[in-house]
Structures are given as C-alpha cells and as structure tokens.
Structure 1
C-alpha cells in the first residue's frame, strides 16, 4: 500500500512546483523612461572618454565565474532563504487588501461585474459541459448494454482489456464535457481579463475530473463501488484498499487542482508574488494534512500486528520536512527528496500493474505475451524516469546557483540526460531479449513424444543460455560506451587500449581462449546437448549445463566432471537417434539352432508387446546366427535397436525372458566339462573344481573390465 501513498506525495510536489514557480515568473511592470533621461544617455555615449572605457572593457577577457561552493556562497544561500521567509511574513497582512484590490480590478475591467459575475459564468460553463456529458452518456448507454450482455457467458476477461474498455467508457464523456465547456468558451470573444480568469478555472476542473476517473479505473475497475467483495482494477489490490486509496486521491486531486487554478487566477489579477506564495503554501497545508491522514490510516499500517509505529512517525516527519523545504524556497532539494520517496514505489507499482495485466495462465508454460509486457512495463518505467530526470535538470538549470550556463556545465547536463535515456533504451532491449529467451526455454522444457521436436528442444536448452549471457555483455558494453561518449569521454582510446589489453590477455591465457573458441565450434557442430550422455577420453556422463569455457558432466555413479572445452577432443555421443545393442549366448553343441531362433523370435515379439518397453524398441531382438564355436559350446549372436539410454534396461529384460524360454524348451546353456582318463573319482572331481575356479576368475576379470 505504500506504493499508492507515493502518488499522493507526488501530487503534493506538483502543487509545490505550481505554487512556487508562479511567484518567480511574475514580474512587476517597470516605469517608462522619460525623454530627458534618454537625451542624457545619448550625450554620455557620445563622450570620447566613455567610448574608450567601453571599448577597453569589451576587449578585456571576461573573468570565469567560480563554480566552487565556498563558505561565502553558503552564507549568501542562507541569506536568500531568510529574505524569502521575511518576504512571506511581510506578505501575510497584505492578503486581504490584495484580494480586495483584485475584486476592484475585476469590476473595473469586466463591465462592472464583480467576482460573483465571474463565478456565475464559470458555473454556467460547467453546467453546459455536464449537459453535454449526460447527453453523450445517454447515447452510448445502448452500446454499453449490448456489450454487458455479450459478456454474460462467464468467460474471464483480461484485466487490461477490461480496464481499457472501462477507461474509454469513463473518459469519453469527459471529452464531451471538455469540448462543450472549454470549447464553447474559447469559441466566443471575451474581455482579456475574463479570458485569463476563466481559462485556469475550466482547465482545473477538467484535469481534476480526469485524474479522479483514471484513479477509479486503476483502483476499482468497472464494477460498482458498493461491491466490496472483489476488485477488478488494474492495480492488484483488494476492494477495500482500492476504495480507501480512491477516496484519498479524490480529495487530494480536488485540493491540488483548486490550488493550481487559484494561483493561475491570482497571476492573472497581478497579485503580488509574495501573496501568491502565502496562499499557495496555505493550500499546501491541506495537501500535507491529507498525506499525513493517509499515512496513519492506510490499510497496511492498520493490518500490522503491533499497529501504527515508527514507520508512520518517520513518514510524517519526512512529509513535514518536505513542506518546510518548499516554504523555504529550496526547490531543487525538494524535488530530490520527492524523487527519493516516490520513484521506487512508483516503479514497483508499474511493474505490478504490467504483470497483472499480461499474466499468462499459471498451468501453461510460456503463456502470455512477454514482449508486450516488457514494452508496457519498461516503457512506462522509462517514461517515468525520463520525465523525472528532465524535470529535475530543468529545475536545477533554472534554480541552482551552482550552474552558471558555461559550456562544460551544459554538456554535463545534456550528457547525463542522454546517458539516462541510453541506459533506459538498453534496459528495454535487454528485457525484451531476456523475456523472449526465457519464454522459449520454458516451452522447450516441456516434454514431447516427437523425437524431432525433442531434439530441437534439447538444442535450444543448450544454446539459449549462452546466447542470453553474450547478449547481456554486448548490450552492457555498447550502452556504457555510448554513455561515456555522451559525457565527453574519448571512447576511441578506450577501445584501442582494450584491444591491446585483450591481445596481452590472449597471449597470457591461451588455454582460456582455446576453451572458449572450442566451445563455440562444439555448439556450431551440435556435438552434444543438455541431457545427452557423452564420452570423451576418460570423461563420460550426462551433460547437465554449459558455461562459456566448460561443460558439466554427471557420471552415472554420481560424480560431476567440469571439463574445459579445449580438453574434450573427439566426442562419443551415446544419446542421438538410436543405439544397437549386441550380446552373445553360449549353448551346447547338441542344441537345435533353428529351435533357438524361433524361441528368440517369440521373445522379441513379447518385448514389442510390452506396454513399458515396447515404445522404446526400434527393431526388436533377433538372433543373428552362430558367432563362433567355443571351447565348451556354440556362441550365438543377438542384436536389437533401441532408443538411446534404454538399451541396458531392455537387454536385462531380454536375458530374463530368454532364460525362461530355454528352461521351458529344454535348451541348456554351455558350461565347461572335463573328462579325466582313469577310474579315480576323486581325481576327476579335483580337476573339475580346478577348471570351475579358473572360469569363475575369468568371469570376474571380464566383469571388472566391463564396469
């Protein structure tokens, strides 16, 4: 809720600016010079000595003004503040007499009509505008009724579309009001003073009504203000909070624009600047009271467990300090304090409104429109910051004595403003690129049954994070160079020095350069992607992530290898397209080979029918034939084609099914046998045990090599 409080402080600041600028801009009329004084001036200019003195002064070099802040300048600054406050104190007793004089001026210049006649004319213009607004509302009521009936189907409407439609419905009648009241007044001929008096009054009414209507759309939405169960406004807050802030904005806008119009009327009546300042500061007290009441009664303060506390006192003191700074005439410091208070909250509110308006569906990855969201959010933030910086620069150039109008000062101010705009544009470009990349990554992480689409998603998951990092570096470097160039810094020597420094770094870090360049070529060749199992030399594992110079491989036993691209060498990718798995089984010499072939064919058909493993098999298990004649039996060769990564699981299931089939059909696996000459049974048993031990050791050795 603090976000919306900042809007009130911003409005108070605008009142401060409007009221403080008017006294400065008003100038008293000077008395015309007499003919005698003009003749004396001409005679002095004809004097040869005066001419020589003027020529010498023109030829002498002008002394450069000092821009250093010394104790003397601070003293002069303090004297100006005391003089300003003293003038306000002296102007307070003059307020009644100035207003009485203004009433006489109105009566004298507008055919004897006093302030009451001006008020009656103003009221008549307002009533004419209200009549035009009512007529427009009646004409458009039928189309709004049709639109309401069309929305009764229960479908949810985007908050941005709802707010835009309701904003048009509320602001279009105000446009009719403005054209009828202000347009009618401008179309007719009035006395000059009456024209100067009526224009700020009508503009104040129109602007106030526009601000109140916009606040209603943002905070309450199209539903009735009596419904407090839910809020359909663009700002993501509940209905009760929306009503609270809407009422405060209503009173704040009324006081603000009333003060603005009154200051304009006083300027038209040529009331003394000091008196105008006193009236403006008095109206500023009304804004201060509304702001303090908002701080203490806002829903966030009431909802806290311990109630109101130090935060409210600090904000109250800060608001009173801003009002005192305004009264003292320190406009530059006032605006710096206002910016420090309102900009963070205002930017957060803009972000929240953009996300609320363009939020996609929570259960649909990559839904919504991130480009439009970024353009609206960052564009609004950029507009706010740009206006703040430009206005602050204007105030500083007009008000501050630290700037003398020198060329260097002008270049610095222009460079800062241009740098801020460049950084904002760079931020918008980067945010758009990041949003598009992140949305593409979210969609690529969604699993799919299409192998081609899955391969494309894997490639995107591999390349887009690297592209995102490179874009961030490039955009940041270009923006910084442009900002430095705008500030007057010679960028060419920096680029040349960076090039020389880069060459030196390249010679000193050849391995790093090799890793980066190798990684670029690996990406161009599409050698591997995130999630694929690869092997390179002694390194093997599943690719988990990339950096600019290395790849992280997760071994199937758990360890993670961080391997620089320069040391990878040849890559064996085990996760592309398909895998052929081969194995051999030994059967006895008396086995029927054709019978075994038929059994294996049945096992292959059963594997294809399996609901879990069938979709993973490309070509089912087949017996290729006799591989060789071994020492103890016939070695039969088998093969199958599967999707990458699933061959081990399918082979284990095939082993189990082949064993069951052999057992049911009486096929015996080959095993070593020993025939010992002689009739000693113990010698034969000892020889068989020795052969079995040798075979077991051989199998253990082969198993260790395979692992």
Structure 2
C-alpha cells in the first residue's frame, strides 16, 4: 500500500493519469462522432466480406446439397425435395377433398363465410402437414431442410387465406391478389433458405451473400407492384412524386437490409406496412361487424372492440418487434448512451400503454354514446323507465368527461414515468398546487362541490324545466361548474351551481293545473258541472291529449262569490309540462259549450240612478237597447 501511495505521488504518474482522464472525457463527449465512424467502418467491412464471399457461394451450396443427399442415401429415404413434394401434395389434396365435401354455410355475409372456410381448410392443411412430418424418422440434416420448407409453405398458405378474405371483402383486387401471393412465396422461400443455411453451418458471409442474391427478385417484384399500383395517377405531379418515393423507399430499405442495419430496416418496414395493415384490418373488422348494415359502427361497443382491438394488436406487435430488434442491434439501445437509450425504451413502452388506454377510452365512449342514443321516446315510455333514461342522459356525459380526464392524467404520468421522469415530486407538487388553487378559487370549488351534490340529490336532469332564483328554463346540459338553462323565449342562461340555491323542478312525476271562470249569479252550477264533465271526457278521448291526463278535467266547486258573479274552480292532473296545451284546449271547448247552452260569462255592470224615475228608466232602456229608446225621451246632450 505504501508503494502504491508513493507511486501516485510521482509527478509523471499524476500527469499520465490526468491525460488518460482527459482522453476518456473527450471520447465520451465525442461519442456520437465515434458512433458514426464505427458505422462507416462496419459498412465497409460488411461490403468487403460480401464481395469476398461471392466466389464461395457455389462451393458452399454444393457441399450442403451433397451432404444432405449422402445422408438421405445412407438412411435409405427419398431425397428431401421429393419428400417435401409428397407431403405438400397430400396436404393440398386433403384440403381440396375437404372443400368439396363440406356443405355450403348458411351465412349471409361473404367475408364472414370466406373467413370461416379459409381458416377451417388452413387448419386441415396444417394438421395434415404436421401428421405426415411426424410419421417419419428424419435424418438430422434432412429434417432441417424439410422442416423449414414446410414452415415456409404453411406461412405462404396463411398469407393466401388472408388475401382471399380481403378479396371477398372487396378490399383487394384480383391483380393485387396474384402479385401478393407471388411476393409472399418468394419471401417465404428466401427466409427458409436462410434458416436452412444457418442450421447446416454455412459460413455467415456466404449465407449473407446468398440471401442478398435471393432477395433481388423480391425487390424487383416490389418495385413492379409499386409501379403498377400507382400508374393510374402518374399523370399528376403528386402521383409521380408518390411513385418515385415508393420506389426509392423500397430500394433504401433493401440497401439497409443488405448493410445489416436491421434496426433502421425494420423501423422503415413498419412505417410502410403498418398503416396499410391498419387500413385493411379496419375494413375487414367492419365487414365482420353485425351493425354494418345499420350504419352504427361507431356506436356499437362490439365493433369498437373488434376494430380498436385489432389495431392495438397490430401496433403492439410492430412496436415490440422493432424494440426487440433495436435492443439487439442498435448501440443506442444496447447501453452506450444512457439518455437516448432511456428515451427510446420509454417511447416503445409508452406506445403500448397509450394503445391500451385508447382502447379503454374508445370502448367507454362507444358504450356511453350508445346508451345516450338509445333513449326512447318520452311518450312511449312508462314513468319509471322515463325517469331512469332521463337520469342516464344526465349522468353519463359527466361520467364520460370525468373518465376522459382521469385517463388523460394516467396516460401523462405513465408516459413520463416510462421516460425516466420521477413522477413522485410531480404528484406532490400537483397536490400542493391544488391546495393553493383551492384556497385562491373558493368560488370555483364551491361551484364544483355544489354540482356534485346536486347530481347526487338528483335535483334535476337534462330536459327538465326548473326554476332557480331568477333563472328559469329547460336544462340543456351542464359541466362540472355550471348548468345551461334554455328559457322558453330562447335565451340561454349559464348558471354556476353555487348560484342556483333552491331548485323548483316542474318536470317530475305529475302536474296539477287549476284555473277559474266567472259566471253570473243566476247560473245553474249543476249544469256547468255536467258540461265540464263532458268536456273532460272529450279531452280524454282525444288521440293527441288523452294519454297526457292522469286525472280528468272536473269542476272543483265555487271558489269565491265576487262583486260581479260566481267564480268556479276547474282543475286536472297531467304529465309535467303539458298543462298549458291542455288548458288552452279546455278554454276553447268551454266557450263553445257555454255558448251552445246559453250560459254567459260574468261581466262588470255599471248602473246609473237619479231622482227622476222616468229619466232612470229611459237610461236603463237605452243601455239595454240603444236603437229603441223610449218615445218622448230625449237623448242626453
């Protein structure tokens, strides 16, 4: 220990350590520059290795083919190609027999019927291949060749089934269907050849050169597909640019793959394929939805679950695969740059979390919207069902807004946590800020709390007519802080909950309406009672007004004896909000009934009297009949 301390005190050693520390610090500061240079060196090394491996491809293939053939001859079995052809032929024959023997399905929708048929026959095909493969005892090398060839065949068969389903749903054209089948066949054959070469111990550089050579037809076919697909829009500048970008993108992706930049290659592939896959999946899932014919896909939770769930599965699978590739082939994610690694990993995890939260929100929103749209006609619902529907129409929008706010907060906090941000201080700070805002905005807190208690007390609902202080109107909507009232003359009042006070609700259960009429003293009250009873029966028999009555129109009795006549009280009980229309109809029918039965309404009468009896009699006669004045009586000047 003493020698070590003595060595550290040496000036030369101290200078050397400081230089090393500065060099390490400089390399850390210029890490991005070194990273670019490393990529350049890696690319140059890869190109040189591929060029050197090209002359050895033929020898390696001959060696592998010879080894597999000798193993087959030594084991007394047929060649691999012949065994593969036999298994594939038997599987296709079994599938053809099954297709011809299965009776036609009684399914109206063509995509659903095609899906059922394709996946059922695909299961038969796969099961036949598996059974035939496991029936034989394969030599080691031959087993690898046949196994990966059969896996590629099943993958091609699955892609064919999906293309047929898309073709039945009119999402894919017949020409595109043929090209995609050829493209998938070449891709599956190339991947199977690469897997077999790796398992048969072919050199890595030779295997890469062979894979690049086999990928050239795939790239050419992809370019041809882009050229043909966008040839119809080539007359416009936008179409030309789109086609040029598509072809350039295919070439760039192929070069990235050839250069072994798998992280960027798979990211580009997902950026190209995922939007197209999402569009096709949406069309397919909507074609399977039972509500497609009635055009209510956005309101059906099952359709939302089908569409959004499929989208989430596709996106999560794509994100997970890109994250897996980046984790194993991209230095930024492998641990060299901590900040960038944390951000990229957090972005991948955040996408999954946001997709799950979006799925929950879309399901909840679809369910709430469906419930709000299913509210029945008020005139056809019983009172208890009407009350339940009205309460749902009132509370569900509030619940939807609260759920949106809660999910948004959860999403933000979760994304920040995945990005490496410590959310504990944020939550604590938000709590302190909330307390401060609460003290500073007591009126706002009062409005929110009052609104919560109004909703808990079920004081009013959307569509009800209420009176609160100086405000009257129909409840149109409300937020966490205020309620919107539509006055019967048109204006809208936006009233904070804290300013409402006592609520007078005129739209609950039933309404009693009373009004008075004045008749002369000599009127027969019993006759009036009978007439009003007949009018009440006629109103109840009215097809428009009859269903609104709870108790019929009837005479309550003599309410008051006034100076000019008798005041009679009339009343009825009806559904809330309908009393004005019934009262107007009753007024019209009372006037007609009284006029037809010689009953008058009482009117004020002024009598003028004096000392001269003849003058008084003449005045009375003139009032009763102005055109027939008493003879010899002069009109007043």
Coarse TM-score class (shorter-chain normalised): 0.7 to 0.9
Q: How far apart are the structure 1 equivalents of 2:500 and 2:489?
A: 20
Quote the residue 2:178 is aligned against: 247
Q: How far apart are the structure 2 equivalents of 1:320 and 1:666?
A: 101
Quote the residue 1:643 is aligned against: 575
1:279 aligns with 2:210: yes
Quote the residue 2:45 is aligned against: 83
1:425 aligns with 2:373: no
Structure 1 SS opposite 2:37 = helix
CA 310–455 in structure 1, closer or farther in 2 if over 3 Å, else same: same
- Segment drifting more, 277-286 vs 415-424: 415-424
Quote the residue 1:27 is aligned against: none
Quote the residue 1:11 is aligned against: none
Alpha carbons 2:561, 2:567 under 8 Å: kept: yes
1:205 aligns with 2:153: yes
Quote the residue 2:90 is aligned against: 131
CA 364–355 in structure 1, closer or farther in 2 if over 3 Å, else same: closer
Alpha carbons 1:578, 1:643 under 8 Å: kept: yes
Residues 595-606 of structure 1 mapped to structure 2, 5 A cutoff: 595-606=527-538
Question: Shift of residue 411 of structure 1?
Answer: 6.3
Quote the residue 2:307 is aligned against: 377
Quote the residue 1:528 is aligned against: 460
Task: Name stretches of at least 5 consecutive residues in structure 1 with no aligned partner.
Answer: 1-56, 221-230, 689-707
Quote the residue 1:387 is aligned against: 317
Alpha carbons 2:166, 2:284 under 8 Å: kept: no
Question: Shift of residue 620 of structure 1?
Answer: 1.7
Alpha carbons 1:196, 1:268 under 8 Å: kept: yes
Alpha carbons 2:464, 2:505 under 8 Å: kept: yes
Aligned length: 596
Question: Shift of residue 106 of structure 1?
Answer: 4.4
Alpha carbons 1:533, 1:541 under 8 Å: kept: yes
Quote the residue 2:123 is aligned against: 172
- Segment drifting more, 307-316 vs 461-470: 307-316
Alpha carbons 1:532, 1:575 under 8 Å: kept: yes
- Segment drifting more, 414-423 vs 312-321: 414-423
Question: Which residue, 57, 71, 77 being the options, matches 2:33?
Answer: 71
Structure 2 SS opposite 1:584 = strand
1:399 aligns with 2:329: yes
Residues 154-169 of structure 1 mapped to structure 2, 5 A cutoff: 156-157=108-109, 159-160=111-112, 162-169=113-120
- Segment drifting more, 526-535 vs 387-396: 387-396
Quote the residue 1:497 is aligned against: 429
Alpha carbons 2:519, 2:566 under 8 Å: kept: yes
1:214 aligns with 2:162: yes
Q: How far apart are the structure 1 equivalents of 2:483 and 2:70?
A: 88
Alpha carbons 1:608, 1:614 under 8 Å: kept: yes
Q: Deviation digits for residues 258-308 of structure 1, max 9, x if unmatched?
A: 11122223334433333322332233222222222322333x763899695
Alpha carbons 2:460, 2:466 under 8 Å: kept: yes
Quote the residue 2:540 is aligned against: 608
Q: How far apart are the structure 1 equivalents of 2:159 and 2:416?
A: 40
CA 207–339 in structure 1, closer or farther in 2 if over 3 Å, else same: closer
1:121 aligns with 2:73: no
Quote the residue 1:459 is aligned against: 391
Alpha carbons 2:550, 2:573 under 8 Å: kept: yes
Question: Shift of residue 157 of structure 1?
Answer: 4.6
Q: How far apart are the structure 1 equivalents of 2:234 and 2:603?
A: 82
Alpha carbons 1:366, 1:440 under 8 Å: kept: no
CA 342–361 in structure 1, closer or farther in 2 if over 3 Å, else same: closer
Q: How far apart are the structure 2 equivalents of 1:414 and 1:305?
A: 44
Q: How far apart are the structure 1 equivalents of 2:122 and 2:65?
A: 36
1:258 aligns with 2:210: no
Alpha carbons 2:298, 2:366 under 8 Å: kept: no
Q: Deviation digits for residues 354-392 of structure 1, max 9, x if unmatched?
A: 22212416559799961x434433333232222222222
Q: Deviation digits for residues 6-49 of structure 1, max 9, x if unmatched?
A: xxxxxxxxxxxxxxxxxxxxxxxxxxxxxxxxxxxxxxxxxxxx
Q: Deviation digits for residues 151-199 of structure 1, max 9, x if unmatched?
A: 2xxx735854x344213332122123322343234xx041x33333333
Q: How far apart are the structure 1 equivalents of 2:483 and 2:307?
A: 36
Question: Shift of residue 428 of structure 1?
Answer: 2.6
Question: Which residue, 470, 482, 492 being the options, matches 1:550?
Answer: 482
Alpha carbons 1:359, 1:368 under 8 Å: kept: no
1:182 aligns with 2:130: no
Q: TM-score, normalised by structure 2?
A: 0.84
Question: Shift of residue 95 of structure 1?
Answer: 3.1
Q: Deviation digits for residues 505-529 of structure 1, max 9, x if unmatched?
A: 1111111111111111111111111
- Segment drifting more, 485-494 vs 64-73: 64-73
Q: How far apart are the structure 1 equivalents of 2:29 and 2:133?
A: 48
Structure 1 SS opposite 2:454 = helix
Question: Shift of residue 213 of structure 1?
Answer: 2.4
CA 89–119 in structure 1, closer or farther in 2 if over 3 Å, else same: farther
Alpha carbons 2:328, 2:334 under 8 Å: kept: no
CA 591–405 in structure 1, closer or farther in 2 if over 3 Å, else same: same
Q: Deviation digits for residues 237-260 of structure 1, max 9, x if unmatched?
A: 26xx44233212210111001111
Question: Which residue, 213, 217, 223 being the options, matches 1:292?
Answer: 223
CA 303–612 in structure 1, closer or farther in 2 if over 3 Å, else same: farther
Q: Deviation digits for residues 621-671 of structure 1, max 9, x if unmatched?
A: 111111112222211111111111111111111111111111111111111
Residues 42-81 of structure 1 mapped to structure 2, 5 A cutoff: 66=28, 69-81=31-43
Give the structure, 1 or 2, with the largest relative contact order (CA under 8 Å, sep 6 or more): 1
Q: How far apart are the structure 1 equivalents of 2:180 and 2:554?
A: 81
CA 513–600 in structure 1, closer or farther in 2 if over 3 Å, else same: same
Structure 2 SS opposite 1:586 = strand
Task: Name stretches of at least 5 consecutive residues in structure 2 with no aligned partner.
Answer: 1-16, 624-637
Structure 1 SS opposite 2:512 = strand
CA 364–246 in structure 1, closer or farther in 2 if over 3 Å, else same: closer
Alpha carbons 2:472, 2:487 under 8 Å: kept: yes
Q: Deviation digits for residues 448-505 of structure 1, max 9, x if unmatched?
A: 3322212211111110011011112222323433443444433322222111110001
Quote the residue 2:595 is aligned against: 663
Quote the residue 1:3 is aligned against: none
1:95 aligns with 2:57: yes
Alpha carbons 2:234, 2:240 under 8 Å: kept: no
Q: TM-score, normalised by structure 1?
A: 0.76
